[in-house]
Structure 1
């Protein structure tokens, strides 16, 4: 149905070419917060937002190009009053500033959720206009007015950009006479695939893409490769969508008779030799069969992020300076980058794996685990998406590697010492805050520490990939 609707729109539309290129993302001091807009006693809210949602967003080639920051309870987006939103917005803004979230934005953008009633908050002026898009949410008891539109215009004059999810702005919060004024000022419109079907289709039933051709679209909560294909392959849709988010990237579906790339198989063999205690000349002999692999490995190892006192030039030096466990850790990265034709999906999976690995390792360090356990936590995170990468069952992908039992138990059985760390990383990606709270309590970690470690891990993964880009 969705695909057919796009087909019809593609045939019917006869609109001017959008100002932005198809698929392009639209393109910057802590002050006193605005006063709550609604009268009455303010609801009791926590002093912090707890676990901050920050999801990676992908472009059509599946490269990570942006992050989304939003309030922790999506249900409240539909139910919160103006006074509640005012407090949530202040907490969101102060939390992002305290976390120094702008470290993530050297080469990427951020979508930051606020409500329409906070458009007058001077703190918004502290966000980099060239890197931030503000996603507006409605307050159920304070509809959009002409004054709201005027505030948006003032921000746009200063270079700030905006997005909304049209399905959230019904007639109760966006009066029909102001709908065109509001939507025509948006740089991005959002479709949530997790919403009821009528809400997903509503923007297209209302011909919004044709009415606002300059706005790009962001598809959120894409749960399958088929839904992603709808956005990127359907005529009339492909030129609209610029950002994508959801579990479609990591959801695993075995491909019959799938075979690993020859270079990936060589990396697996090298890793097997390393685990089996093979001498350095045996390992070096494998690298000599593919010199590109050695070049990539040394580039990873010599990254400034690792802080080595001198550059490593040979496998023997790597073994001497790093040890087998650390060398094995860096070899895992080659599994994602050794393919003869690297694609955006492999690099996106690598970044997600690097995040999980660093996040779990740092959680282990914070919790007082010893060095070897932290190394194994890193491996658990790195291998957690190996099935998605190689498109084979995870036990089959892991079988040649002879990994430590604690790693295998966490990956295959979701059990044992490392399982809560992996579950916490996955829950953070899925925005499952109840699960995160339970797991953090189990690991004796508080939300502030988890938020900081989460952000640090995202920055680290981004910098590792940036420093090792071709």
Structure 2
């Protein structure tokens, strides 16, 4: 299940069939000149951004899905008419993309403005797994409360958004599964007092919004927040030591051996030095999805079946699950998988066949610095990588950089960056959204 990976028998590289010559970009030296640009304004309010939501065990339990950038405290909120237009565009987009496919066992947090709350369009969303982020209108509390009760009765979960202990919200708390708090709006003392109100087990779960650093997470964790929204787990942790242990060094060595296409006998010897690696390889190759009637019992046989390309991909993913246990490793791997697959899908119709293989590697290794907790330049010193891949990872330049930048912009819900990079890549909204959905679904299916 590595390469679009339903099975090891499948073709390793993505086959996009015949691609018109004028759609192929052989080289992208600058994002501003990435082939034929798409009209940026046509992309506005059409491409979904997402923000991960993690629980206290550091597992991704859902995503906020949005068509607008995260609103900073200093930025004025749009007026009611504009916000309703944004909400309607998001819901239609989610319905068109079949949000059920995105969910699996995860939650989809969807912002709903007071003016949108009454719309029947909301009911086009599936009730299972959808959490409606509601910020009640102080002038229409009774109407908003009745509608929330109705929606709760239909099976939707309610999250009270941007909670600031305003008057009249007590009855909303009895309906809410979550209370979301923007941690940038409070100092530590204020935040602690607010969190203390929700220590009772019968209270809604506290969701911290805009958790962007390790310090933010640690503070909210100690205050007993239940969930954390933000990309803090994809950042370096300066206060922690590097995570380059012997297990990861072994995987890095094998990656370099595979990249050099060393003999199968040499690769086999490398695996035999690590019983756990050998076990994981045989477990993967004998997974039911691969459909072998007779079990594969030898390392050499498994290596021959996989081949160099698929073995390299499998090892890149294994890099994230090797080494000393870290509660964030699984979330980081999941994020890396989505980023890698999305980068690959975005570029597959724009690059020459010989260039496409690097897209996935660029995406997965773009979080290598975070995985090892060292600067990217230092992390890359341990790998033999082609120059175009190095350029994208070390300097965010070259043929792969625009597609990586677009993937990152989507996961950071940076709408202006999403629009700019999508336009520069010559991609329309449907292509970007479809790639994101496929990447999220694909990442859920990977089992190492």
Same fold flag (TM > 0.5): yes
| C-alpha distance 205-110 of structure 1, shift in aligned 2 (>3 A) | closer
Contact 1:190 1:219 in 2 (8 A): yes
Cα root mean square deviation, aligned:
3.2
Q: What residue number does 1:70 align with? A: 66
Q: What residue number does 2:103 align with? A: 105
| C-alpha distance 259-459 of structure 1, shift in aligned 2 (>3 A) | closer
Q: What residue number does 2:255 align with? A: 271
Query: Aligned equivalents of 1:133 and 1:200: distance in 2?
Result: 29
**Which one of the candidate residues 176, 181, 190 is aligned to 1:191?**
181
Cα offset, 1:324, TM superposition: 2.0
Query: Aligned equivalents of 1:364 and 1:157: distance in 2?
Result: 43
| C-alpha distance 434-83 of structure 1, shift in aligned 2 (>3 A) | closer
Q: Within the alignment, does 1:448 sit opposite 2:446 as a pair?
A: no
Q: What residue number does 1:251 align with? A: 235
Alignment of 1:112-261 (within 5 A): 112-137=110-135, 143-167=139-163, 176=167, 178-193=168-183, 195-197=184-186, 201=190, 204=193, 208-209=197-198, 214-232=203-221, 234=222, 237-238=223-224, 241-254=225-238, 258=242, 260-261=244-245
Query: Aligned equivalents of 2:446 and 2:231: distance in 1?
Result: 23
Cα offset, 1:422, TM superposition: 1.6
Contact 1:362 1:374 in 2 (8 A): no
Greater RCO structure (CA 8 Å; 6+ sep)? 2
Q: What residue number does 1:33 align with? A: none
Cα offset, 1:108, TM superposition: 1.3
| C-alpha distance 136-301 of structure 1, shift in aligned 2 (>3 A) | farther
Contact 1:380 1:411 in 2 (8 A): yes
Q: What residue number does 1:399 align with? A: 381
Query: Aligned equivalents of 2:240 and 2:228: distance in 1?
Result: 27
Q: What residue number does 2:13 align with? A: none
Cα offset, 1:199, TM superposition: 11
CA deviations 1:154-191 (Å, max 9, x no partner) are 22233322112244786xxxxx3x33233343221111
Q: TM-score, normalised by structure 2?
A: 0.81
Unaligned ranges ≥5, structure 1:
1-44, 171-175
| C-alpha distance 254-89 of structure 1, shift in aligned 2 (>3 A) | closer
Query: Aligned equivalents of 1:421 and 1:51: distance in 2?
Result: 15
For 1:400, what is the secondary structure of its paired residue?
Answer: coil
Alignment of 1:303-382 (within 5 A): 314-317=298-301, 319-339=303-323, 341-370=324-353, 372-382=354-364
Contact 1:191 1:200 in 2 (8 A): no
Q: Within the alignment, does 1:289 sit opposite 2:273 as a pair?
A: yes
| C-alpha distance 66-153 of structure 1, shift in aligned 2 (>3 A) | same
Q: TM-score, normalised by structure 1?
A: 0.77
Contact 1:387 1:397 in 2 (8 A): yes
**How many residues are paired up?**
406
Contact 1:318 1:327 in 2 (8 A): no
For 2:47, what is the secondary structure of its paired residue?
Answer: coil
Q: What residue number does 1:9 align with? A: none
